[in-house]
Amino acid sequence: MTNRERAMNILHFKPVDRMPAVHFGYWPELLQEWAAEGKIPQSLADSWYDGGEADAALDRLIGWDFNWYRTAGAYNNLLPTFEHKVLEVLPDGTQRVQSPSGMIERIRPGVTSIPSEDDYLLKDRAAFQTLYRPKMQFDPSRVNYEYFKHFNETRDPDVPIGLHLGSVLGDIRSMVSVVGMSYLLYDEDEDLFADVVDAYADMQYKCVEEILKTGAKFDFAHYWEDICFNSGPLLSPVIFDELCAKHYKKRNDLCHAYGIDIISLDCDGVTDKLLPTWFENGVNVMFPIEIGTWGDQFEAARQKYGKGMLGVGGMDKTVLRLDKAAVDRELERLTRLSALGGFIPCPDHRLMPGTKFELVQYYAEKIKEIKL
């Protein structure tokens, strides 16, 4: 079987010869660590990105079968983006930076953490109309038609490749910050936030439609959202449903019409309150099922939502910093979860600094021993 067949069979509850060894990439700092330890060539550490040549080379070196986050899509963000520029340097070295999304962030040279959200440009309808709406229009330059025309012949036939559907709310949160989103939802122009969501979604739908019309075939489709944190969703599930459900349905219906029936969604944090909106509107794979927030809830969620809920992820990546015994215990748990069907174990996010190269190799070898 190819890995493509293995993955798709598992997600359709069909038999496979073995579990594929699937991952979700690495923190750049980890790859630099491994390069410094002589585990991987420096060139791979410097050039890695999801689905790139270095990703495939690392797969061979480690023993992975593929990276789930291997997708192709349109340029479906703001076009053009805002100029990335330093607005101010504070006495302690902190920089106030205007990001490509229009968010004003605080960064500190040498600190690689997610930046601090400081301010944002999309504060009122005038800013939406003049600064943002023009950047949310569909334009043919967003789609590499030539690439997608030849996609079926040129793609790697062994691994599943997803069509990236973009993001209904996650990108917009990145434009206005969590605070900004909250204020926009409750400030005087109550329709403004919904208008922003609609305008952005219309552009993303058109991008997806244009790609599918080229005849390119995908194994699955994929969203990025990240709209939850460790206590739950970043906004009311009712408001989320009102704003977003119709857009998921429209985009997912389009995918179904082109034969794509596996639609995965990447959202960190406690997602349970938003699952109904996603599942009722065509999303069926949760990814990466972080252990820190899901705990052992995958099985319970399967009981609640049935076989319409699939999963890729759920592997506690922190055991890869410990020892073989810890990895073995995690493998035992994953074997039990895999027996439910419709579940592909994958580290529950990017592998982080301190992860032991040999343990990753060990895990990649052992996960393939799970028979279904």
Partner 1 sequence: MSTILLNEISEKLQRGKAKDVAALVEQALAEGVAPEIILNDALVVGMNVIGDKFRENQVFVPEVLVAARAMNAGLKILKPALAGAGVEPLGTAVICTVKGDMHDIGKNLVKMMIEGQGIACIDLGVDVDAQVIVDTVKNNDVQLVCLSALLTTTMHGQKDVIDALKEAGLRDQVRVMVGGAPVTQAFADEIGADCYTLDAASAAREAVRLIREMRA
Per CB under 8 A, residues contacting partner 1 are 27, 29, 106-108, 111, 113-117, 178-179, 181-183, 185-186, 229-237, 239, 269, 273, 292-293, 318, 352-354
Task: Please state, in angstroms and rounded to a whole number, the distance separating the CA atoms of residues 151 and 162.
Answer: 12
Min dist. Cβ of residue 108 to partner 1 (A): 5
Say if residue 233 is preceded by a cis peptide, omega within 30 of 0.
no
How distant, in Å, are the alpha carbons of 20, 59, 91, 133, 155 from that of 48?
Answer: 21, 11, 35, 34, 19
Q: Which of 257, 254, 247, 124 is nearest to 189 (CA)?
A: 124
Nearer to partner 1, 147 or 229 (CB): 229
Nearer to partner 1, 117 or 330 (CB): 117
Nearer to partner 1, 117 or 225 (CB): 117
Min dist. Cβ of residue 197 to partner 1 (A): 14
Min dist. Cβ of residue 316 to partner 1 (A): 11
250, 287 contact by CB (below 8 A)? no
Min dist. Cβ of residue 183 to partner 1 (A): 7
Nearer to partner 1, 8 or 234 (CB): 234
User: For the purposes of burial, counting CB atoms within 10 Å of the CB of 353, is it exposed (0-12), middle (13-18) or buried (19 or more)?
Assistant: middle
148, 216 contact by CB (below 8 A)? yes
163, 211 contact by CB (below 8 A)? yes
Nearer to partner 1, 129 or 236 (CB): 236
Task: Please state, in angstroms and rounded to a whole number, the distance separating the CA atoms of residues 319 and 326.
Answer: 6
Nearer to partner 1, 117 or 171 (CB): 117
Nearer to partner 1, 55 or 118 (CB): 118
Beta strands at 285-287 and 263-266: parallel, antiparallel or unpaired: parallel
Min dist. Cβ of residue 92 to partner 1 (A): 9
Beta strands at 116-120 and 228-229: parallel, antiparallel or unpaired: unpaired
Min dist. Cβ of residue 75 to partner 1 (A): 27
Helix (H, G, I), strand (E, B) or coil at 18: coil
Min dist. Cβ of residue 266 to partner 1 (A): 16
Q: Which of 217, 288, 282, 272 is nearest to 250 (CA)?
A: 282
Task: Please state, in angstroms and rounded to a whole number, the distance separating the CA atoms of residues 247 and 286.
Answer: 18
Min dist. Cβ of residue 251 to partner 1 (A): 24
233, 267 contact by CB (below 8 A)? no
How distant, in Å, are the alpha carbons of 134, 155, 161, 210, 318 from that of 152?
Answer: 33, 6, 11, 16, 37
Helix (H, G, I), strand (E, B) or coil at 264: strand
Nearer to partner 1, 216 or 234 (CB): 234
